[in-house]
Amino acid sequence: MVGLLVNRMFFAVAVLFGVVSVTFALMHLAGDPLAGLIPPGAPPDVENDIRRSYGLDRPVPEQYLDFASRAMRGDFGESWRQGRPALAAVLERLPATMALASLAIALAILVGGFLGVAAAARPGSPWDAGARLAALLGQAIPAFWLGTMLILVFAVDLRWLPASGLPGPAGVILPALALAAYPAATLMRLLRASMVETLGADYIRTARAKGLSRRRILLEHALRNAALPALAFTGLQAGFLLGGAVIVEGVFAYPGIGGLALDAVATRDIPLVEAFVWVVALLILGVNTLAGLIAAWIDPRLRERAAAFGGAAP
């Protein structure tokens, strides 16, 4: 287990450095970083003063080395529009997005896991057909359209839940439902396929021959092995949830980092965009590391491979 954790840490540092480098390159390839800050028709001396104040008068390689060294420490300078540290502006909005993403992934695991196990337990039954139809709809319906429909039904017509913002705990329910639909549908299909394959294994037939109950076979024997692909998928969904949160937060006017990122891109607030990308990358790495550790705890073979690669005992 220690070897796996060490390997993940080295991997995380390398990925963060790559994210920092790619972000810097893309933001500078997109055009003049100060295009939205220099007043139209400004004289050259004013333009030069603005560039000098933001450190953009230096050669690009020098700018990159300075940016990379600071970004790896979490220092992105001040937001060009808000006039305060860019990382602080992102972290201020982060709890709202974390609450939304956490509730969405919890709903996806509960709904997708239940439907996947129930469908695999009775393949070909009406329950299986209904679960697969629900999964197909969940994958086909865009999150922004689903969010709009949820607002019209539950906020406008029924008036059960707020339509936008975050007035209280109820304000996160509709955005979480819209965000959880796709991962829940994909998780259901993945878990069902894995469970059906696992239920045909020799050790499952042996368990049936011993007279074990269907419930015990499903939950204690089949699900433990079938859950590994689903667990890896859940870790990958961290990126989807945080990326999809940008769209969903825009639909619901939700005060998270997604809306902040959209405003930063529209106003070309480069430090804020870079801080947002760095925070999201760090969160994705953290979730995937946690998923890897849980998978290693479930499957001892993963711990043995990590120990052999890292030279450390589990």
CATH number at residue 174: 1.10.3720.10
* Angle of CA points 145, 148, 153, to nearest 5°: 125
For residue 312, is it within any domain? no
d(CA 220, CA 225): 9
Backbone angles phi, psi at 230, to 5 degrees: -65, -35
> In sequence order, which residues have a C-beta less than 8 Å from that of residue 250 and are 6 or more positions away?
144, 258, 259, 262
CA 273 → CA 53, 131, 241, distances in Å? 19, 40, 18
pLDDT tens-digit series, residues 128-176: 888 889 888 888 888 889 988 999 999 888 888 888 776 677 888 899 8
- Considering the entire predicted model, what is its pTM? 0.74
Please state the rounded mean pLDDT for residues 90-111. 88
For residue 288, is it within any domain? no
d(CA 35, CA 51): 11
* Angle of CA points 136, 137, 139, to nearest 5°: 65
Number of domains in the chain: 1
Please list the alpha-helical segments (H only) found in the chain. Answer: 2-29, 44-53, 60-71, 86-121, 126-140, 143-150, 173-199, 202-209, 214-216, 223-252, 257-266, 270-298, 300-310
Bridge partners (DSSP) listed for residue 78: 85
63 near 55, Cβ under 8 Å? Answer: yes
pLDDT at 149: 92
Residue 96, Cβ density class (10 Å: 0-12 exposed, 13-18 middle, ≥19 buried) = buried
pLDDT tens-digit series, residues 18-30: 888 888 888 777 7
Among positive and negative, which fits the CA dihedral 140, 144, 145, 150?
positive
Phi-psi region of 308 (alpha: psi -120 to 50; beta: other; left: phi over 0): alpha
Q: Quick check: 200 pLDDT over 80?
A: no
For residue 129, is it within any domain? yes
Domain span at 133:
86-266
Q: Rounded mean pLDDT of the chain?
A: 79
Pair of tokens at residue 195: 């469970």
d(CA 174, CA 33): 37
pLDDT at 152: 92
- Higher-pLDDT residue of 3, 83: 83
Backbone angles phi, psi at 130, to 5 degrees: -65, -40
The model's confidence at residue 303, banded by pLDDT at 50, 70 and 90, is low
pLDDT at 123: 81
> In sequence order, which residues have a C-beta less than 8 Å from that of residue 261 and are 6 or more positions away?
246, 272, 273, 276
pLDDT at 11: 75
Q: Per this entry, what is the length of the chain? A: 314
For residue 295, is it within any domain? no
For residue 8, is it within any domain? no
d(CA 197, CA 176): 31
Displacement of CA 19 from its chain's centroid (Å): 15
pLDDT tens-digit series, residues 214-262: 777 776 667 777 777 777 677 677 667 776 777 888 888 888 888 888 8
- Higher-pLDDT residue of 312, 157: 157
For residue 194, is it within any domain? yes
Please state the rounded mean pLDDT for residues 50-58. 77
Please state the rounded mean pLDDT for residues 173-180. 90
d(CA 289, CA 16): 14
For residue 111, is it within any domain? yes
